[in-house]
């Protein structure tokens, strides 16, 4: 009996060690960005494509106020309520003390500078598809913004979801770094739009339904999803019957083909995509026209 108990304890310890190693927060090799010099001008485009202000600016902020990234937006989910952090260049409360590699690790793998997992309420499962050079440029732009001395609000997450090491297992199961849609037959413009929409644009974070573990259901890519508030549904983008020019115009002005206007969270998205160039919006539209429901 004692021998059996010893074997059982040893098996448990081996299992725990294997789990701990398998769920280690991932990091990008520093050599991958060695020699890259961030360009804040290019980084401004990445800022708007990534929709940073939608979560990290104060609610209702307009104009230059959207560049004060104090955080605070509450993101509700079945797993708890998550609050967007301060990502202004404030050295104490924001990310002013972060290196460029710190931001790359956060956006590609959801890994914090101190080696913890971020929750996927932060859309790193989409941002992992971003080019490293784009993140380097983004950091250069973020460093030009005004620092805001506002402390972060703690997430409201109960057991077991507050045990962040479990997120390493979530990443093993659900983090998908490559393209989502089958790009066979895509035009060059649609391929460019795929990189933007599936990556920094993170369209799938809202417009794709989620499984029981909060994972995107890639088999139902962009086919609409229940609203996290429990009220209503986020519309499907797959199979949208608007023309490509209608989609591009909507991303620029917020006007639908029926002369309605974007509302709720989509109005914040338009505040971002309106800053993109016509070629970017046209590429995203070309990609969305290629996505068909299963």
Is 227:265 a contact under the CB 8 Å cutoff?
Answer: no
Whether 175 is covered by a domain: the verdict is no
Share of the chain above pLDDT 90, in %: 65
Question: How confident is the model at residue 234, as a pLDDT?
Answer: 86
What pTM value is reported for the model? 0.91
Mean pLDDT, rounded, of the chain: 90
Could you give the CA distance from residue 148 to residue 171 in angstroms, rounded to a whole number?
32
Looking at the fold, whether 138 and 192 belong to one and the same domain comes out as no
Could you give the CA distance from residue 36 to residue 218 in angstroms, rounded to a whole number?
33
CATH of the domain at 267: 1.10.760
Looking at the fold, whether 155 and 207 belong to one and the same domain comes out as no
Question: Within 13 Å, how many C-alpha atoms sit on residue 288's CB side?
Answer: 28
Could you give the CA distance from residue 128 to residue 20 in angstroms, rounded to a whole number?
22
Helix (H, G, I), strand (E, B) or coil at 3: helix
Share of the chain above pLDDT 70, in %: 91
Looking at the fold, whether 150 and 202 belong to one and the same domain comes out as no
Question: How confident is the model at residue 17, as a pLDDT?
Answer: 66
Whether 271 is covered by a domain: the verdict is yes
Whether 183 is covered by a domain: the verdict is no
Based on the structure, what is the number of domains in the chain?
A: 2
Helix (H) or strand (E) holding 13: helix 2-22
Looking at the fold, whether 198 and 146 belong to one and the same domain comes out as no
**Looking at 137-151, 213-227, 273-287, which range is the least confident one?**
213-227
Helix (H) or strand (E) holding 153: none
Question: How confident is the model at residue 6, as a pLDDT?
Answer: 65
Most confident of 100-109, 164-173, 220-229: 100-109
Find all residues with CB under 8 Å of 21, minimum gap 6, and list them. none
Provide the CA 60 distance to its chain's centre, in angstroms: 21
Whether 146 is covered by a domain: the verdict is yes
Domain housing 65: 2-164
Whether 52 is covered by a domain: the verdict is yes
Please identify, among 129, 164, 199, the residue that sits at the C-terminal boundary of a domain. 164
């Amino acid at each position: 009996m004692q021998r059996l108990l010893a074997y059982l304890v040893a098996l448990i310890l081996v299992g725990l060690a294997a789990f701990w190693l398998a769920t280690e927060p991932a990091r990008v090799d520093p050599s991958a960005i060695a020699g890259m010099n961030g360009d804040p001008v290019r980084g401004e485009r990445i800022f708007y494509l990534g929709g940073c202000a939608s979560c990290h600016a104060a609610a209702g902020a307009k104009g230059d106020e959207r560049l004060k990234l104090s955080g605070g937006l509450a993101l509700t989910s079945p797993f708890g309520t998550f609050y967007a952090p301060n990502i202004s260049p404030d050295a104490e409360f924001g990310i002013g003390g972060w290196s460029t590699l710190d931001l790359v690790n956060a956006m590609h793998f959801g890994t914090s500078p101190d080696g913890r997992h971020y929750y996927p309420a932060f859309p790193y499962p989409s941002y992992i598809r971003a080019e490293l050079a784009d993140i380097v440029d983004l950091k250069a732009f973020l460093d030009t913004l005004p620092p805001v001395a506002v402390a972060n609000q703690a997430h409201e997450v109960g057991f077991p979801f507050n045990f962040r090491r479990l997120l390493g297992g979530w990443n093993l199961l659900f983090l998908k770094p490559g393209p989502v849609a089958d790009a066979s037959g895509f035009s060059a413009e649609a391929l460019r739009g795929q990189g933007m929409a599936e990556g920094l644009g993170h369209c799938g974070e809202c417009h794709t339904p989620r499984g029981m573990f909060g994972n995107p259901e890639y088999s139902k890519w962009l086919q609409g999803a229940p609203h996290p508030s429990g009220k209503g549904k986020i519309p499907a983008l797959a199979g949208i019957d608007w023309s490509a020019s209608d989609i591009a115009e909507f991303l620029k002005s917020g006007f639908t083909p029926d002369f309605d206007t974007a509302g709720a969270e989509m109005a914040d998205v338009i505040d971002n995509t309106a800053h993109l160039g016509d070629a970017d919006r046209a590429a995203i539209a070309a990609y969305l026209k290629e996505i068909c429901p299963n």
